[in-house]
Amino acid sequence: MTTPTASAPPVPASHVPASPAAALSAPASSALRRAARISTFVDEVREAVGRGLAPDLTAQLVADRLAPHLGAPDLLTAAQRQGDAATYRQHLLHAEPDGSFSVVALVWLPGQRTAIHDHVSWCVAGVHEGQERERRYDLVPDGTTSRLVAVAEVTNPLGSVAGFAPPGDIHRVWNAGAGMAISIHVYGADVARLGSSVRRVYALPEGEDL
């Protein structure tokens, strides 16, 4: 006759070792997800830039890679969502060590706007939160000089993304909404060193309001 073996008593749930993932606090878990998303996006941009294509084609490739990340709640930290009452605020998210590209977040409080400007390199802009207004310009010959002509004005809603490159990159942007707006920008330049992507600021055309 076989003697029954006693089964081990169940381990109380409170004594079951937690997995490393379960042991993470909510803030730590969020930080890991955010780091993973930024790292993934930077890798995607690096691959696109590394193809060595013309600036306008590079901008379109990078725009395609930015689009899926727009609106993601784990893209930015609370600090990277902070604005400035004086002017729109730039947060540097990544600067490639070789200077080939940079990623920034721009935070716009209601009514904040840029001057009319162009850029030192190709650039990509996508709306992460809220919406932005944009007015685009052409620089046309006018006798011995040239003048700006507004050619389009658009509203860029959440999720919209565009890529462009000089010389077709003169515009101004502002937050015409009642709430905060945030946009993600990628530039083919070292913004950490330059401080800004702006190459030149233009005077307002005659008769145009701020």
Please write the tens of the pLDDT for every residue from 93-108.
999 999 999 999 999 9
Q: How many CA atoms lie within 13 A of 119 on its CB side?
A: 26
- Which one is predicted more confidently, 182 or 141? 182
* Per-residue confidence (pLDDT) for residue 13, from 0 to 100: 46
Question: If you average pLDDT over every residue of the chain, what do you get?
Answer: 90
* Per-residue confidence (pLDDT) for residue 165, from 0 to 100: 95
Q: How many Cβ atoms are within 10 Å of 176's Cβ, its own excluded? A: 14
The backbone torsions φ and ψ at residue 107, rounded to the nearest 5 degrees and listed phi first, read -110, 125
Strand-pairing partners, residue 129, are: 182
**Which amino acid, residue 86?**
A
What's the predicted TM-score (pTM) here? 0.84
